[in-house]
Structure 1
Amino acid sequence: MTVLAAAAPLAPLLAAFVGFLLRSRRAAAALAIGAASVSLVAAIGLAVRFENPFVDAYRAADFAGLSVDFGVRVNGPATLMAVTVGVVALAVQVYSVAYLHDDDRYAPYAAQVSLFTAAMMTVVVAPDLIQLLIGWEVMGICSYLLIAHDRRLPEAPGAAVKAFLVTRVGDVGFLLGIAVLGYHAGSFRIDVVLAHDYHPRDLTLATLLLLAGVAGKSAQFPLHTWLPDAMAGPTPISALIHAATMVAAGVYVVAQLFPLFEGSDTALTVLAVMAAITMLLGALAALAQTDIKRVLAWSTVSQLGYMTGALAVHAPGTALFHLFTHAAFKALLFLAAGAVIHAVGSNLIAVTGGLRGTMPATFLATTAGLAALAGLPPFSGFFSKEAVLASAAHEGGGAGWLVYGAGAVTVLLTGWYAARLWLRVFLGAPRTDAARNAHEPPGAMRWPVLLLAVPATLLGFAALSDGFVDRLGPGTEEVGHFGAALAVPLLLALAGAGLAALMWRRTDAVPNAPASAGAGPGASEAPPSLVAPVAPLPALLSPGDAGARADPADLLPARDTLAAAFYLDAVQDALVTRPVLALARWVKRGDEAVVDGAVNGSGATAVRAGGLLALMHRASVPRAAGAALAGAVLLGLVAAVLEWTR
């Protein structure tokens, strides 16, 4: 068992080290896919053979009584998480071979993906907070490298730097939180940290600091701003970051350390507020995006809010359940989006349309993914999202009803933007020649999408298995338990989707309705009546001209504000970035004037004095005689003064 647990991170780690030395595309692909396969097989073997939690670690260091252990720690959630990471990583590696077939930097890319996978696997099986921190930080480095991979995109370097710096802000708090826990527990070993009896003040401080890191890694308000911009990276990397690594890490760590958070009502209240704002903000921003990947990116922000909301209402197992279903349908959606982008040559929704006929396999897979995202039965998202809302309602109180209310509204919004994306991309008539000439991607891109459609559709039924639910850990009372209350989120999701369909059909009646990104000045001034009956499904599926130019978002009030996510980037820039840069410039000038001035001034003085002495040493006879005479006169004057003062 220990060998299997260690192989999951070590196989991709070794592949990364070797891969950085390779230049052959074929060898790099074989190594990366082989290592991902070994890691997945090890994870599956671990999940199949797992019976009881175990820890196998050795003492790596001891700093003044603070021990650091390296090894593996395996429990139920770790086995499920390892399989999830392995499946998505293998799908991404296979998919990338075709997606980046013309990329001359594929070899280092494949090595970086392997390192990314190894880092997340390290977080999953870490027995010690320091080992966990190493994997946590390596993921940050890999995200920077992979987001900036395509150097032809002018926005890629800035997006990579933004992701790195914003997550680093949270990581400072995360590091301090680990330090507080280790200092008081006398060890960084997770089992020791969880068993220690902390003073309530110290526990609250530590958990709030850890939440700063979670907000950064898992893109929670107010440190969420990096995630949509990270879409500058290759689409397979978006799938990996959004589904099984990076953003999932924060939720997973809180679930594994939940006994600590359970001891701090303050931390859980902060988490509930953060979750409610995040899920609503992400859903509202997704309504008006014109880029396929940015719609999915903002949906990830929103869905992460559901996970942290479940944590806030004492349901860590439910949070993990939604993490696993989300990993399946979000990886599917990003890879399917990559197929669409590959076919039409653009990320813009306006360039697509009518792809149901030319890309039927991608259409069916995306339909499954969007249905799961919207929470429609029998798709996986229905089971996990319903469990989150049921847990919030069961919790009650301020935090519980806050999470439930925000989650219910978000269900409505999610149904709307999922339906809008589905209608705009796949139905109606093609809006461009690229859409008319689109075709299915190569097999290496198509098969990962189709295979991911299976868990996106069926994984929710695992909630009916007691063995699966038991592995999720505590806080799973509402998983797999269905009552009349589930009708509320289902009706909200259907209402959102139906409203989007109605608006999609009716926008053709708006004169000069915009055909692409951005609402025109009058786009929402005179919306058509929204009380007309929704067109029947056969009419929606008809490939005629209806809907060729329609965009339901054209009827949204304040579309530009929604598309800009309430201008929070600008607010962050004004309140944080600019003041920090101004302070940095002031410190730089002070350093140059005072510190550098003192150092450089003393050096310049010594140089000038040395030059003067050198000049005297090298002087001609008349100058030397003059200097000797001046010295003699000076000595005589000194002697006379001394004699006179005696």
Structure 2
Amino acid sequence: MTVLAAALPLAPLLAALVGFLLRGRRAAAALAITAASVALVSAVVLAVRFDNPFVDAYRAADFAGLSVDFGVRVNGAATLMAVTVGAVALAVQIYSVAYLHNGRNGRSVAEGGDERYGPYAAQVSLFTAAMMTVVVAPDLIQLLIGWEVMGVCSYLLIAHDRTLPEAPGAAVKAFLVTRVGDVGFLLGIAVLGYHAGSFRIDTVLAHDYKPFDLTLACLLLLAGVAGKSAQFPLHTWLPDAMAGPTPISALIHAATMVAAGVYVVAQLFPLFAGSDPALTVLAVMAAITMLLGALAALAQTDIKRVLAWSTVSQLGYMTGALAVHAPGTALFHLFTHAAFKALLFLAAGAVIHAVHSNLIAATGGLRTLMPLTFLATTAGLAALAGLPPFAGFWSKEAVLASALHEGGGVGWLIYGTGAVTVLLTGWYAARLWLLVFLGAPRTTEARHAHEPPGAMRWPVLLLAVPATLLGLAALAGGFVDRLGPGTGEVGHLGAAVAVPLLLALGGAGLAALMWRRGAADPADRLPARPALAAAFYLDAVQNALVTRPVLALARWARRGDEAVVDGAVDGTGSAAVRAGGVLAWAHRAGVPRAAGAALAGAVLLGVVAAVVEVAR
């Protein structure tokens, strides 16, 4: 079992290290796909054979009584998470072979092309290895290593397209925004390790902390979670990350990066359960995130940005479940979301490949031209909207039922915002479905659209299976038991499901009604559409309140450095030059002047000696 667990990060890590040295496209593709397959098979076998949690770790370092262990730590949730990561990573690697083939895709040059496929595949493997490291880490330091490597990989992959003007800026933004949160995450780990005397997760969880220390550590950890899992106010990087290749969007949104924060809180939940202030902060953050993401998704004109904002919103559901003491429900929604969101992004890539544009306005009428993509996308959007029997219905209802069961201010906050978000989600999911697949093609490319190659088509079709059926796993006791505490509402949904279901259908019906009444785009009739499309101008607010002051401070610091530090160094050099000039003048002087200088020096030394003697 230990070997299987170790293979989860090591197989893709080895593929990444070797892949960076390869130049041939076929060899790079074969290596990346093989490594992803090994990781997935290992995860599946581990999940099937799993019986009891286990830890196998060795002491890697010991600093002044603080120990660091490396190895594996496997529980039920880790086995399911590993299967999720492995499945999505394999689908992305296979899909990418065709999507980035010789630049013949929706944005030919913009998606990279054949010459850069090798580094791309290696970076995807490294991304997968980093997430698997987080999944099985027995120690917070090992977890932190995987956590930070993911940040580097996201930067590299978002910036993969060197011809898109927005790609470098989006990559830098993702890197810097998540680094802001990671400062808090690192400090939170330091607080826990200092008080527990070890960074080993089981030791950290078992330690008895003072209330202030525990709350401080949890709040610091939540800063990192807000960055990685795109929670308000550190969510702004995720929609801009759509500048990366579409398969990378699927990987980031479904199985890595944004999933990491939710997973870590679920694994460390005994700590958070002991800090009501931290859970209250998490609840407020979740409520704002889910509602903000849904409102922004209403008005987007780019297919991928609709899906990106929907991810922000759905992540709010997951953190909301954590806030109401339901980590198992949060993981359940994470798994179902991974299935339908990976499906939706890869299906969106097929549409982009066909119409050569990300814009919704460049599509239309694709139902008959791309029937398989239409059916798969329908399943994905139905799961996103939370319609039965699709996967998202079960997990979303479990989140809302958990909030109702929690009650109190936090419970009603999550339930109320969650219910409103259900209505909005039904609306924007229906809008996207109607505009892309129904009606008449709106461009020449849309009129000549066709299904993608097999390497792109089969991952989409296979992902449609869990997007449709994974929610039914809630009815299987073994699956629920592995999710951990807080799964009481999973698989035991009652009459309360009627309200959110009616809201979802109502939102979808309203979008359809607006569309049938002649609106070329139902979003055109939204009040304050520009504000919604710009996500209430939060980017501009952050620029005004954070970015510009920081840049001004940096300019001030640079001028101070040049005037004080550089001035001192340069001044020392100038003084030495001037002193050298004086000495050179004295050296070149005639004998009378030299004798006078020697006499003056002797007198000066005598005066100094006399002063010193008097001072004694």
Match of 1:374 in 2: 385
Cα root mean square deviation, aligned: 1.7
Q: 1:201 aligns with which of 212, 218, 221?
A: 212
Q: Which runs of 5+ in 2 are unaligned?
A: 103-112, 612-616
CA contact (8 A) 2:586 2:594 kept: no
Q: Report matched runs for 1:177-196 at 5 Å.
A: 177-196=188-207
TM-score normalised by L of structure 1: 0.91
The alignment status of 1:576 with 2:542, answered yes or no, reads no
Amino acid paired to 2:375: L
Q: Distance in 2 between matches of 1:624 and 1:394?
A: 101
The alignment status of 1:281 with 2:292, answered yes or no, reads yes
Q: Kindly tell me: are residues 360 and 629 of structure 1, through their superposed partners in 2, closer, same or farther at Cα, counting changes over 3 Å?
A: same
Q: Distance in 2 between matches of 1:29 and 1:13?
A: 15
Q: Kindly tell me: are residues 304 and 632 of structure 1, through their superposed partners in 2, closer, same or farther at Cα, counting changes over 3 Å?
A: closer
The alignment status of 1:334 with 2:345, answered yes or no, reads yes
Match of 1:306 in 2: 317
The alignment status of 1:233 with 2:261, answered yes or no, reads no
Shift of 1:506: 1.3
Shift of 1:627: 3.8
Secondary structure in structure 2 of the residue aligned to 1:71: strand
Q: Distance in 1 between matches of 2:218 and 2:429?
A: 35
Shift of 1:186: 0.3
Match of 1:43 in 2: 43
Match of 1:94 in 2: 94
Amino acid paired to 2:594: A
Secondary structure in structure 2 of the residue aligned to 1:105: helix
Percent identity, aligned pairs only, is 87
Q: 1:169 aligns with which of 174, 180, 187?
A: 180
Q: Distance in 2 between matches of 1:62 and 1:342?
A: 52
Q: Report matched runs for 1:475-624 at 5 Å.
A: 475-508=486-519, 550-614=520-584, 617=587, 619=588, 623-624=589-590
Secondary structure in structure 2 of the residue aligned to 1:423: helix
Match of 2:437 in 1: 426
Shift of 1:331: 0.2
Match of 2:29 in 1: 29
Q: Distance in 2 between matches of 1:17 and 1:122?
A: 16
Shift of 1:483: 1.0
Match of 1:350 in 2: 361
Q: Distance in 1 between matches of 2:582 and 2:464?
A: 83
CA contact (8 A) 1:420 1:500 kept: yes
Q: 1:443 aligns with which of 434, 446, 454?
A: 454
Instruction: Count the aligned residue pairs.
Output: 600
CA contact (8 A) 1:354 1:425 kept: yes
Q: Distance in 2 between matches of 1:640 and 1:458?
A: 99
Q: Kindly tell me: are residues 627 and 99 of structure 1, through their superposed partners in 2, closer, same or farther at Cα, counting changes over 3 Å?
A: farther
For residues 557-607 of structure 1, the C-alpha deviation after alignment (integer angstroms, 9 at most, x for no partner) is: 000000000000000111111111111111111111111111221122123
Q: 2:138 aligns with which of 100, 103, 127?
A: 127
CA contact (8 A) 1:20 1:111 kept: yes
Q: Kindly tell me: are residues 246 and 610 of structure 1, through their superposed partners in 2, closer, same or farther at Cα, counting changes over 3 Å?
A: same
Shift of 1:630: 4.1
Q: 2:470 aligns with which of 459, 464, 470?
A: 459
Q: Report matched runs for 1:385-404 at 5 Å.
A: 385-404=396-415
Q: Kindly tell me: are residues 639 and 434 of structure 1, through their superposed partners in 2, closer, same or farther at Cα, counting changes over 3 Å?
A: closer
Q: Kindly tell me: are residues 611 and 477 of structure 1, through their superposed partners in 2, closer, same or farther at Cα, counting changes over 3 Å?
A: same
Match of 1:542 in 2: none
Q: Distance in 2 between matches of 1:43 and 1:32?
A: 17
Q: Which runs of 5+ in 1 are unaligned?
A: 509-549
Amino acid paired to 1:574: A
Shift of 1:193: 0.3
Match of 1:317 in 2: 328
Shift of 1:449: 0.3
Q: Distance in 2 between matches of 1:424 and 1:59?
A: 57
Q: 1:148 aligns with which of 159, 166, 190?
A: 159
Match of 1:540 in 2: none
The alignment status of 1:110 with 2:121, answered yes or no, reads yes
Secondary structure in structure 2 of the residue aligned to 1:438: coil
For residues 415-474 of structure 1, the C-alpha deviation after alignment (integer angstroms, 9 at most, x for no partner) is: 000000000000000001010011111000000000000000000000000000000011
CA contact (8 A) 1:507 1:555 kept: no
Amino acid paired to 1:266: P
Shift of 1:50: 0.3
Q: Kindly tell me: are residues 641 and 134 of structure 1, through their superposed partners in 2, closer, same or farther at Cα, counting changes over 3 Å?
A: closer
Q: Distance in 1 between matches of 2:605 and 2:368?
A: 111
For residues 498-537 of structure 1, the C-alpha deviation after alignment (integer angstroms, 9 at most, x for no partner) is: 00000111134xxxxxxxxxxxxxxxxxxxxxxxxxxxxx
Amino acid paired to 2:433: W
Q: Report matched runs for 1:44-63 at 5 Å.
A: 44-63=44-63
Q: 1:631 aligns with which of 586, 593, 597?
A: 597
Q: Distance in 2 between matches of 1:639 and 1:186?
A: 61
TM-score normalised by L of structure 2: 0.95
Q: Distance in 2 between matches of 1:477 and 1:637?
A: 96
Q: Distance in 2 between matches of 1:182 and 1:196?
A: 10
Q: Distance in 2 between matches of 1:246 and 1:130?
A: 17
Match of 2:307 in 1: 296
Q: Distance in 1 between matches of 2:579 and 2:518?
A: 83
For residues 144-179 of structure 1, the C-alpha deviation after alignment (integer angstroms, 9 at most, x for no partner) is: 000000000000000000000000000000000000
Shift of 1:137: 0.2
Q: Distance in 2 between matches of 1:297 and 1:175?
A: 27
For residues 103-144 of structure 1, the C-alpha deviation after alignment (integer angstroms, 9 at most, x for no partner) is: 111100000000000000000000000000000000000000
Amino acid paired to 1:70: F
